[in-house]
Structure 1
Amino acid sequence: MRIGIITGSGTYALPDFEDARPTEVATEFGPATITEGRFAGADVLHVSRHLAGHARLSHQVTHQANIAALRDRGADAILGVTVCGAVDATVPLGTLMVFDDLHFLANRLPDGSICTLHTEPGRPGRSHWVYEEPFSAPLRGALLLGAREAGLVVRDGGCYGHVDGPRFNTKAEIRMLAACGVTAVSQTAGPETVLAGEAGIPFALLGYATDYANGVQDEATPVAELMRLIGESPVALAATLAAAVPHVQRAQPGPVGTHLGFD
């Protein structure tokens, strides 16, 4: 079993990643950098969304190429992690969330195009992805077990809200998302969820709360506190992933939902 792991702000490499080999993978959506190796006893394909040194801001992440490269290199499951802003004031900062729902109403990539792998009329495999819940239940279970085994506080469930970057959101925008039941927001995982689903690869998303979104509290989270928690996030995220990977291997998850196709 090969497991894809996608990391974001603050986590640009996996610790204790054995035999790590960065490879540029050519896809129909352009190149993507995949690092292959052994992590927590498993064959792992690692994608750093932003690349080393945070070279790419959120609006420059190549989502289609990243997911296509993981698909083409044989990923059987994908675990995504993200630092995020809490919209729900009951979420303590510095804690983890394993999301079970998605708010990504625009369904667009950073360049404004529709978020899909089905970009050409008549392309074989074109379909509508039909699902009840967007995230893989077995992978969610693995992340929850991993966090608890690592001794970390984790929330079971919550709605992930995808927002466009690179700017942060206004108070009015956050109020709208709160009214929709969004638990926390960040700027990259919406497209990954959709594209992994279209590729038939089970996907789950782990969030780490680094700040309260604009207007959630009377006083804004200081930027220094945001940066401190981003700096601390890699330890919690890596510990959870390392403990979760063996559970993923045992779970053998299948694709989420079905595909209404036309071939």
Structure 2
Amino acid sequence: MVRYALIGGTGVYDPAILTGLREEQVSTPYGDVRVKVGTYRGKEVAFLARHGEKHSVPPHRINYRANIWALKRLGVERIIATTAVGSLNLDMRPGDFVFCDQFLDFTKGRPSTFFEGGPEGVVHVDFTEPYCPELRGVLAEAAKTLGLGFHREGTYVCTEGPRFETPAEIKAYQRLGGDVVGMTGVPEVVLAHEAGICYSTVSMVTNFAAGISPQPLTHEEVLEVMAQNAERLRRLAMLALDNLPEERGCRCAHASPGIRM
């Protein structure tokens, strides 16, 4: 059974830490998903490139429901997901890692739940802890051991994209308590939580957001910073996978009635 998964965001397309890679195509009610599966120190780990291997899928077109369903079908219990983010918080500087504990959702047109009524009825899931506290703690300790700049908490603001935000929007998000901004964290975290999967994001700050940064934002800048930090990101993921306890000690598996497959 594949109990662990890495979801690679912008700039993270290669499961370099895994050996014996094979590709599996998983059928879901929302479409087929191709997932790479390999081994890291005896643990089977799935790798899914969120935007496709050539970054061909924009954030608002990603099939989030199919991706999470496919990982659940493989048996995944824990997901470490990478995201490239802009910072709204001057203490969270380019190159820092942020292990978010809350989110603000400003997406507009994305299917954001598995629970659509029907035979299962209406389901309301508690989101007091949207990100797994145990998984976040393991990542934070790994970052500390490696001497990386990191933040144990942060509020992730998710926008629809694919455009970057305006300075006025950034000011509004700051006033609401946002720390970092990206385009892919929601509904991914929501669906993982509904599926009973432990989920934590490793958000890499690539730049300060619009109105804070002294220069215009570009996608090339994001890719460049992610490339510069790829090795640090790999070492963090490797150490976290090493340090994860065999059995889950959180309540993520019981936070939702789960999805029926």
| TM, length-normalised to structure 2 | 0.90
Q: Is the 8 A contact 2:110 2:187 kept in 1?
A: no
Of residues 168-177 and 228-237 in structure 1, the stretch that sits farther from structure 2 once superposed is: 228-237
Q: Where does structure 1 differ by over 3 angstroms across 4 or more consecutive aligned residues? A: 221-227
Q: Is the 8 A contact 1:211 1:221 kept in 2?
A: no
Matched, 1:121 2:122: no
Q: Is the 8 A contact 1:36 1:46 kept in 2?
A: yes
Residue aligning to 2:186: 190
Question: How far, CA to CA, are the matches of 2:33 and 2:222 in structure 1?
Answer: 29
Query: Secondary structure in 2 aligned to 1:75?
Result: coil
Q: Which runs of 5+ in 1 are unaligned?
A: none
Label 1:251 to 1:154 Cα distance change in 2 as closer, same or farther (>3 A). farther
Q: Is the 8 A contact 1:130 1:260 kept in 2?
A: no
What aligned pairs does 1:4-19 form with structure 2 within 5 A after superposition? 4-19=5-20
Q: Is the 8 A contact 1:163 1:186 kept in 2?
A: yes
Query: Secondary structure in 1 aligned to 2:229?
Result: helix
2:14 maps to amino acid: A
Alignment match of 1:172 (pick from 146, 151, 168): 168
Residue aligning to 1:241: 237
User: How far off is 1:146 after superposition?
Assistant: 1.8
Matched, 1:100 2:101: yes
1:220 maps to amino acid: Q
Q: Which runs of 5+ in 2 are unaligned?
A: none
Residue aligning to 2:49: 48
Query: Secondary structure in 1 aligned to 2:119?
Result: coil
Residue aligning to 1:27: 28
What aligned pairs does 1:188-227 form with structure 2 within 5 A after superposition? 188-217=184-213, 219-220=214-215, 223=218, 225-227=221-223
Query: Secondary structure in 2 aligned to 1:145?
Result: helix
Of residues 181-190 and 143-152 in structure 1, the stretch that sits farther from structure 2 once superposed is: 143-152
| TM, length-normalised to structure 1 | 0.89
1:81 maps to amino acid: T
Of residues 222-231 and 18-27 in structure 1, the stretch that sits farther from structure 2 once superposed is: 222-231
Q: Is the 8 A contact 2:17 2:234 kept in 1?
A: no
Query: Secondary structure in 2 aligned to 1:130?
Result: coil
Question: How far, CA to CA, are the matches of 1:252 and 1:28 in structure 2?
Answer: 28
Matched, 1:259 2:234: no
Residue aligning to 2:77: 76
Task: Give a deviation string over 1:59-110, Cα, whole Å, max 9, x none.
Answer: 221100000001010001111111110111221111111111111155x5xx
Question: How far, CA to CA, are the matches of 1:200 and 1:118 in structure 2?
Answer: 13
2:157 maps to amino acid: G
Matched, 1:130 2:123: no
1:102 maps to amino acid: F
Task: Give a deviation string over 1:34-67, Cα, whole Å, max 9, x none.
Answer: 1111125421111110111112121221100000
Question: How far, CA to CA, are the matches of 1:31 and 1:4 in structure 2?
Answer: 17
Of residues 171-180 and 141-150 in structure 1, the stretch that sits farther from structure 2 once superposed is: 141-150
Matched, 1:151 2:147: yes
Question: How far, CA to CA, are the matches of 1:221 and 1:236 in structure 2?
Answer: 26
Query: Secondary structure in 1 aligned to 2:205?
Result: strand
Question: How far, CA to CA, are the matches of 2:41 and 2:229 in structure 1?
Answer: 19
Residue aligning to 1:3: 4
Label 1:216 to 1:61 Cα distance change in 2 as closer, same or farther (>3 A). same
Query: Secondary structure in 2 aligned to 1:204?
Result: strand
User: How far off is 1:175 after superposition?
Assistant: 0.9
Q: What value does the CA root-mean-square deviation take over the aligned residues?
A: 2.2
Q: Is the 8 A contact 1:104 1:161 kept in 2?
A: yes
Question: How far, CA to CA, are the matches of 1:114 and 1:60 in structure 2?
Answer: 10
What is the aligned length?
256
Q: Percent identity?
A: 27
